[in-house]
Chain A
Amino acid sequence: MSRVSPLRAARPQSDPAHPHLRLDPSVCDGVGICSHLAPDLVAVDTWGYPIVSGDPLSSKSLQRQADAAARACPRKALHVQ
């Protein structure tokens, strides 16, 4: 009867087969386009800045969202890597 602790389960697992959407917060200006183009990956905080999911881009749909958000960012703050 083994149970995975919720904390551990929530931690992003590094998986070389699946890239991640990553944010450089020092150049992000909180423009917010990313949260519309990648709603499954990007939430917005109290001050309008993106909170980016640390989960791997494990499906075609997530990869499409990540690519669209990274391309559209006017500050070039998002990276798929």
Chain B
Amino acid sequence: MSHHLHLAEGTAATRRGLRMLDDAAVLGLHGTESLTGVARHDLAAHRAAFGPRLSHLGHLGEDLLAAMETVHLTGRGGGHFPAAAKWRSVLAHGPGGTVVANGAEGEPGCAKDAVLLQVRPHLVLDGLVAAVEVLGAAEAVVWIHDGAWQTARSITRALAERVAAGEADPPIRVIAAPDRYLSGEATGIIRTIEGGPTLPRWVADPARPWSEGQRSVLVNNAETMARAGLISHVGVDGYAPTSLLTVINDTYRAVVEVGPEETFGDVVTNTWRSPDGRPPQAVLLGGYGGSWVPWERIAHLPVDNTALREHGLSVGAGLVGPLPADACGIEESARLLRYLADQSARQCGPCLFGLAATSTLVDDLTAGKLSRSGRATLDKYVGEISGRGACRHPDGALRMLVSGLHVFSEDVHVHRKGRTCNAPNHSIMPLPEEGS
């Protein structure tokens, strides 16, 4: 694997807090088994780097919740819901539940959670243990993808290291979920823990997503849990409000930790190898169910979700997918939409039939076969499907499509005239079935 990461030195502002990663981690385009660039912390290295973990039993739990609120810790799986609010609704339900660190990372482009579990497993485990203490939970779960062998090995080694060191941890199970896009969806995880299938389900009250009469289940993304663990070590003053991003390159992915004083322009300049020396024309931000953002618009925006929200954007699950200047954005959007339609859990009609029908129309568009009335039908489908799934999968797929139709309107125009767009650079974002 050839790459050249010339990461910028952090500024004084970012040096203030303690970061989770000290360098960029590099992986191949597919899977999470080829990680290089950051050495794994065993328990001794972890304690040396982050200090002893403090107890969060009893009233000390309120201190951690207050600290999470002060630093505005949000869910890094994509939704960015305030983490402390989620913990508080579990607390209100009573003790004896399950807490889950979700490292399944269904987004095929993203690898930040696998990186954390492979090189900083004890941060995630410290977060889980703190959650058990604060919430009075009965057990903890690390939820990973089946086939993520390096990740599983790192976690089981970390658990053994903690037993050997005499850590008084609660019971922690590792569960390997089916290797599918939606296996990391939170309601599917809760359903599995309650003894059901790993499929998303509709919940009447999002603040209480577990079944009526059942014990609570808290699901936090692995990065969110690691950040709770970090805050439990270093407190508000030692915490760096950074984001973990996965940057997609032509032959590799880079996972980097970036502070709010850096812009997306800085991130792409430092971690993306342009195939022709030119900046990208646009960036797919957040995930494959995220938004295409034109380069001129995103380059000066800070890596700070609060600031992004004012522009109607989100860091989401941390994907940064630059589209090279000579690539065709609408062909790439069509390709990703087909993948997302295929990944439907096949439970909800609007997702199962609607996304497939929409994808067929967009394929017609890229083939130059979409009539004027066909284009009107496409807009009608988008309006009909939005907001009607049990989970947010169809909404994400349509968000990506709608942003692509808007940002790549010139490509759309060329394709609708039936001309080929002469873009030589096809298939930028990695998809699982194309992996070796």
Contact = CB atoms under 8 A, between A and B. Distances in A.
Interface of A: 22, 24-30, 45-49, 51, 79, 81
A30 B349 CA distance: 7
Interface in B330-378: 345, 347-351, 353-354, 357
A24 B205 CA distance: 12
B146 to A, nearest CB: 23
Given A26-B200, A27-B347, A49-B349, 4 more contacts: A25-B349, A26-B347, A28-B348, A47-B349
A26 B390 contact: yes
Interface stretch (B81-89, B310-318, B381-389): B381-389
Interface residues of B, number: 21
A51 B389 CA distance: 11
B389 A25 contact: yes
A26 B202 contact: yes
Contacts of A29: 349
A29 to B, nearest CB: 8
Contact of A46 (B201, B204, B347, B357): B357
B357 A47 contact: yes
Contacts of B199: 26
Interface of B: 199-202, 204, 345, 347-351, 353-354, 357, 380-381, 384-385, 388-390
Q: Is the interface of A mostly helix, strand, loop or mixed?
A: loop
Residue picked from A22, A24, A28, A45, most chain B C-beta under 10 Å: A45
A45 B354 CA distance: 9
A46 B358 CA distance: 11
B388 A46 contact: no
A16 B167 CA distance: 48
A45 B202 contact: no
Q: Which 3 A-B pairs have the closest CB atoms?
A: A49-B349, A26-B390, A25-B348
A47 B204 contact: no
Contacts of B357: 46-47
B347 A51 contact: no
A49 B200 contact: no
A51 B388 contact: yes
A79 B381 CA distance: 26
B349 A24 contact: no
Contacts of A51: 384, 388
B202 A25 contact: yes
Contact of B204 (A28, A49, A79): A79
A79 B205 CA distance: 13
Nearest to A45: B384
Given A28-B348, A81-B204, A46 B389 contact: no
Nearest to A30: B349
A30 B347 CA distance: 11
6 contacts: A24-B390, A27-B202, A28-B349, A29-B349, A48-B349, A49-B350
Residue picked from B348, B357, B385, B389, most chain A C-beta under 10 Å: B348
